[in-house]
Amino acid sequence: MDIQDLLLSTRRIALVGASDRPDRASNEVMRFLLDRGYDVTPVNPVLAGKEIHGRKVVASLAEAGPLDLVDVFRRSAEAGDVVDEAVSLGARAVWLQLGVVNEPAAERARAQKVEIVMDRCPVIEWRRLGLPPRIG
């Protein structure tokens, strides 16, 4: 599956590392995804129970299910655990944000037939591909 197909076929996204700070990339990306029609659940144990962009923050990935795509805003070294958890919870795809690369985790995900995107941003890809204003 290519990035365009992934973006257009996804409906539910768990955003790991969500921030309530407007100056953080995860906050901006979450707003962008919500504006495009995705059902986004922010995941951050420190902010659990609060709201970001009107969506209740959950403490764990397990609470965010069911999962189509898991969007990961974590350091590369920490991303492997999130990828493994996403795979075990039945996610269809995992997206590691710009600067986040974990090849061993990506190989484990692919071995389980889970799509993985690394070191990319869905906002940038959406614009690069000229996708529609909202998912259908």
Q: What CATH code is carried by the domain that includes residue 64? A: 3.40.50.720
**Regions of the chain short of the pLDDT cut 70:** none
- Count up the domains in the chain and report the number: 1
| 46 in a structural domain | yes
pLDDT digits (tens, 9 = 90+) for 15-44: 999 999 999 999 999 999 999 999 999 999
Q: Is the pTM of this model over 0.85?
A: yes
| 135 in a structural domain | no
| Dist CA 90 CA 84 (whole Å) | 10
| 22 in a structural domain | yes
| 136 in a structural domain | no
SS3 state at 41: strand
| 134 in a structural domain | no
CA 96 to chain centre: 7
